[in-house]
Structure 1
Amino acid sequence: MASKVYFADLRARSADENKGSKIGKLFERVCANLFSEDDVVAVKVHFGERGNDSFVSPVILRHIVDKVKDSAGKVFLTDTNTLYYGSRHNSVDHLVTAVLNGFDYAVVGAPLIIADGLHGGNERLVEVNQKHFDTVKIAGDIHDSSGMVVVSHFKGHGMSGFGGALKNLAMGCATLHGKLEQHECAKPVITGDCNLCGVCVEDCPVEAITLTEDGVKIEYDECIACMNCMDSCPNEVYDLNWEDDVPAFIERMMEYSLGAIKGKEGKVAYFNFLTNITPDCDCVPWSDYPIVPDIGILASNDPVAIDAASYDLVNQQVGFRGSILEKNFEEGADKFRGVWSEVDSGYQLVYAEEIGLGSRKYHLVRV
């Protein structure tokens, strides 16, 4: 059965057509009677890495927060700490980064809570009983919330092709140990010749890399799959097993997505913002040129359907020649394959549907 996905474009010629008004109309379609005055609702967002500016604007987010406050007793904005060692690896740095990126109470109208605690130890074990995991590790304050509004910036991602609502649930709602469980099947492999420059050794946060007379060595028991070595190596010594490991990584993510919403059936809504559609996740400390034009805002109660619709809408665009796109510029071509050629972006939709997260079939309704 097809799920409804509501779509608002970005054209506006009056106050009734501005983004706030359109968000209000979308909210009424997917959140009407979803929450009660006794609910404590998590608005799951990505606060952006320091140096990144393509995340969903806190000014825009305020419209969603205000709508939740009108229908629920309490609301908070939340995210979880990162596995990699950037500006959001612990709650103190994470909150400082969030405020610097504009997510202050005066702007968003709600308190900020890092859901997995100071160092990622606030977690709940949730049964999913799937191929890779019997239980998954979900951030405690997300698990304990009454309901959730998942607000995602739809964009590219180097290991999953694109990141939308499903990835926001999977990585965004997992604790540090949960993120490691998802990543541990897809750790970097050594495929090139090392010139012993030592850059990767310096950039490894857990001292899992050493230099020997024969080249570089990875201690896989220590490796946390943060990919710092791949990003920093000037000689392309590192790569991934794209054929076997990356599909397994995508499956693990989808099983975590299932755990993130378990117990909240009928109490979750999703908003995808198809703006600033960059090739990379907002976890990188930069924002590259978009690969397609801005498209609009989508809302649904089905995370698979909203990502499927977002994926299709992006691919219907003509790609920007001045972007990182190497191919697939034409209308209808897979734009994310045009950036991350080794990744089958659509596989996350296939597996998510298979394990019961939602439907790839959707009916797009303009509001």
Structure 2
Amino acid sequence: MGEHVYALPAQIAEVSRDATLLRRFRDLLARLRPEEAFGARDKIAIKMHVGGPDSYTTVHPQFVRALVDRFADRDNFLYVVDEHRAVRTAWQRGYTQETLGAPVYPISGVVDRYLEDRAVTDSPYFDEIKVSGMVAHADGLIVVSHAKGHASCGFGAAIKNIGIGCVAQQTRNHIHTFENHDNWRLDVLERTERPHEALAQDTDGGRHFSYALARSAHEVLRGFEREKVLCLNVALNVHPYCDCWGLSSPSFVPDIGLFLGHDPADVDEATLRAVQDAPFVPAALPDFMVPADAARTESGHTLERLHGKNPWHAIEAFRLLSAATAREPAAEGGG
């Protein structure tokens, strides 16, 4: 796959099963053969967000099953993981071994204690990051992300799914302190009729949240061979909120399609640009979220106009971390 991001549009060219997005995704996987990047007995975690009690717009099981089926003739073990509380009810939303072709496990164990503590000395945001054991001890990682808005950083997809989704609740809570998301946002919604204007006044909060998020994602991926990380962004049902809220709402852009690649920043960039280029549907939003024509933004992106957070910060920060790592001198081998 090299440095490429592969994009498949949701729009069909003809009324045919061969033209459907799912069929074209299977065809793309058959051409790329991503399974060949993994060792014969590698254990591979599939990180996705299975949503909450009233979610119905998360990633459809068929797309996960298409990935799992690539390994049907191999001696690998694939398993789907997500936060332990969400996993308890995942079956209610169709995420089962029967539909996915792989079992569904809590990412840090049933009580969030299967973790790998990693000391951090190069970031003002962390002293340590607690990486979920089901990812830290895997041989490979497939990141399946529902592309959507996010109140804390503007945009949630691969980097967010890794940086917050693959760590302990303690680390997740710590990242959220930099944006003071929960209570602060509720206060904003209660005290103003045009909350997007007030949200835009705290762009520094979104920036710091995104920087911490990127550092966490970078740490999660440390130790994985690049070709053993595969990121799939599903830009269907693109609504404004994180799936962790346990709800669904109408899409503010038409269905876009799929984006596939090895580097989460590249896949997120391709997705984010496609969201910006897609027709905006303000009628899909609650009245309080419809942005004013003159809403101030750093990036001009639709998602920043909705949430007051520049959605490019996490991508830029992740790339800086990757570049710095690439410049580090290789360790000297033993005699």
TM-score range, shorter chain: 0.7 to 0.9
Query: In structure 1, what is the Cα distance between the partners aligned to 2:3 and 2:137?
Result: 27
Match of 2:257 among 278, 296, 319: 296
Query: In structure 2, what is the Cα distance between the partners aligned to 1:252 and 1:301?
Result: 21
Deviation of 1:129 (Å): 4.1
Deviation of 1:285 (Å): 2.7
Query: In structure 1, what is the Cα distance between the partners aligned to 2:243 and 2:151?
Result: 12
Asked whether the 8 Å contact 1:6–1:29 carries over to 2, the reply is no
Match of 1:171 among 161, 164, 167: 164
Query: In structure 2, what is the Cα distance between the partners aligned to 1:326 and 1:186?
Result: 21
One-letter amino acid of the structure 2 residue matched with residue 318 of structure 1: P
Asked whether the 8 Å contact 1:19–1:60 carries over to 2, the reply is no
Find the counterpart in structure 1 of residue 28 from structure 2.
26
Deviation of 1:120 (Å): 1.3
Query: In structure 1, what is the Cα distance between the partners aligned to 2:5 and 2:122?
Result: 27
**Secondary structure of 2:118 counterpart:** strand
**Secondary structure of 1:269 counterpart:** strand
Deviation of 1:275 (Å): 0.6
Find the counterpart in structure 2 of residue 6 from structure 1.
6
Matched length: 305
Find the counterpart in structure 1 of residue 99 from structure 2.
107
In the superposition, relative to structure 1, how do residues 51 and 178 fare at CA in structure 2: closer, same or farther (>3 Å)? Answer: same
Query: In structure 2, what is the Cα distance between the partners aligned to 1:6 and 1:234?
Result: 38
Query: In structure 1, what is the Cα distance between the partners aligned to 2:293 and 2:93?
Result: 33
Match of 1:15 among 17, 31, 48: 17
Find the counterpart in structure 1 of residue 190 from structure 2.
235
**Secondary structure of 2:69 counterpart:** helix
Asked whether the 8 Å contact 2:11–2:256 carries over to 1, the reply is no
Pairing 1:344–2:305 present: no
Asked whether the 8 Å contact 1:328–1:335 carries over to 2, the reply is no
**Secondary structure of 1:299 counterpart:** strand
Q: TM-score, normalised by structure 1?
A: 0.76
Q: TM-score, normalised by structure 2?
A: 0.83
Query: In structure 2, what is the Cα distance between the partners aligned to 1:10 and 1:39?
Result: 32
Identify unmatched segments of 5+ residues in structure 1.
82-87, 89-93, 189-226, 359-367
Moved more, 151-160 or 104-113: 104-113
Match of 2:291 among 326, 338, 342: 326
Deviation of 1:333 (Å): 5.6
Asked whether the 8 Å contact 1:328–1:337 carries over to 2, the reply is no
Match of 2:232 among 268, 271, 276: 271
Match of 1:116 among 79, 87, 108: 108
In the superposition, relative to structure 1, how do residues 177 and 26 fare at CA in structure 2: closer, same or farther (>3 Å)? Answer: farther
Match of 1:317 among 275, 278, 287: 278
**Secondary structure of 1:47 counterpart:** coil
1:118-197 counterparts in 2 under 5 A?
118-127=110-119, 129-131=121-123, 132-187=125-180
Find the counterpart in structure 1 of residue 319 from structure 2.
353
Higher strand share goes to which structure? Answer: 1
Deviation of 1:233 (Å): 8.6
In the superposition, relative to structure 1, how do residues 170 and 345 fare at CA in structure 2: closer, same or farther (>3 Å)? Answer: same
Find the counterpart in structure 2 of residue 216 from structure 1.
none
One-letter amino acid of the structure 1 residue matched with residue 224 of structure 2: K
Query: In structure 1, what is the Cα distance between the partners aligned to 2:67 and 2:292?
Result: 36
Deviation of 1:20 (Å): 3.1
Higher helix share goes to which structure? Answer: 2
CA RMSD of superposed structures (Å): 2.7
**Secondary structure of 1:75 counterpart:** strand
Find the counterpart in structure 2 of residue 254 from structure 1.
214
Runs of 4+ deviating beyond 4 Å: 237-241
1:198-213 counterparts in 2 under 5 A?
none
Deviation of 1:264 (Å): 0.9
Find the counterpart in structure 2 of residue 78 from structure 1.
81
Q: Percent identity?
A: 24
Asked whether the 8 Å contact 1:41–1:74 carries over to 2, the reply is yes
Query: In structure 1, what is the Cα distance between the partners aligned to 2:281 and 2:204?
Result: 31
Asked whether the 8 Å contact 2:58–2:243 carries over to 1, the reply is yes
Query: In structure 2, what is the Cα distance between the partners aligned to 1:274 and 1:323?
Result: 16
One-letter amino acid of the structure 2 residue matched with residue 255 of structure 1: R
Match of 2:89 among 82, 90, 97: 97
**CA offsets per residue over residues 109-139 of structure 1, 9 Å max, x none?**
1111111112211110235543233531110
Moved more, 307-316 or 129-138: 129-138
Identify unmatched segments of 5+ residues in structure 2.
325-335
